[in-house]
Structure 1
Amino acid sequence: MPTVKQVQVTFDCAQPERVARFWCEVLGYVVPPAPPGFDSWDDFNASLPADKQDSAFACVDPTGAGPRLFFQRVPEGKVVKNRVHLDVRVGTGLVGEERLAALEAECARLLPLGATRVRLLTADEENESCLVMQDVEGNEFCLD
């Protein structure tokens, strides 16, 4: 039987710290402590060669239950739909109007953080409603 591995979710983006801080707010994640020998991430960043500065950032679940999220700067912009996306589970166990209210409340919380509402997918015979959103750089995610 294979052993369980830890998972890190990596985002390609233009502004790693900006996108990481957005996801900290969405998920209740935190920025991990700066590496040993540095008082802050700004100090660590300043120690890097100019071409490596601001090239990566991360956030973690303070409980240790969720995966680490890593954000890396890439030169190209996003041009197509994500092949993988996060589902932010805000309506688990809820159905109908109660579920829609939970999705709409979370959407209202995220819009001032820079999220964009894309479309509501209403319940059908197989799936409950979910709300498709985009983060501050256009990466799709669902409120589910």
Structure 2
Amino acid sequence: MADPGNRERGLRAAISNPRVSEKAKQRDREILEQEFGEQVETSPSTTHSSDTKKASTEESIPEKSSSFRASQTYGRRKTRSSSSGDLETSAPSASMSSTVDDSSIDGKDRGNVVRGLKAAITNPHVSEKAKERDRKKLQEMGEQVE
């Protein structure tokens, strides 16, 4: 059987978790009282006030916009503006890609690109149209296509 200490810690964690329903928290409080003889006070984050619930939920959920902005700048270089000192985002220049050695494609490892294309060709969930496009890319790269 599981360690009683682990069960107790799990119940306490659920009670303090803002994403757990009040019904589940109440059940966990009752279990703690019955099995472990402990009284757990209702914390401000577990009260029935809609304002408190809203505030605790807002604090615990990270904003999606920050990760979305990071993905929008993928493949771009950040440079400092000479006049304002602010960061500017610019697309990679052709000269940057020409300085990269022959083992990379658009900054990606050539071997990984080849493996990915071959994996897509053998994947039953990939459409025939996409498989044909990948076969063509492999031929252009000088790779043997099955």
TM-score by length of 1: 0.21
Give 1 or 2 for the bigger CA radius of gyration.
2
Bigger helix fraction: 2
Higher relative contact order (CA 8 A, sep 6+): 1
TM-score by length of 2: 0.21
Bigger strand fraction: 1
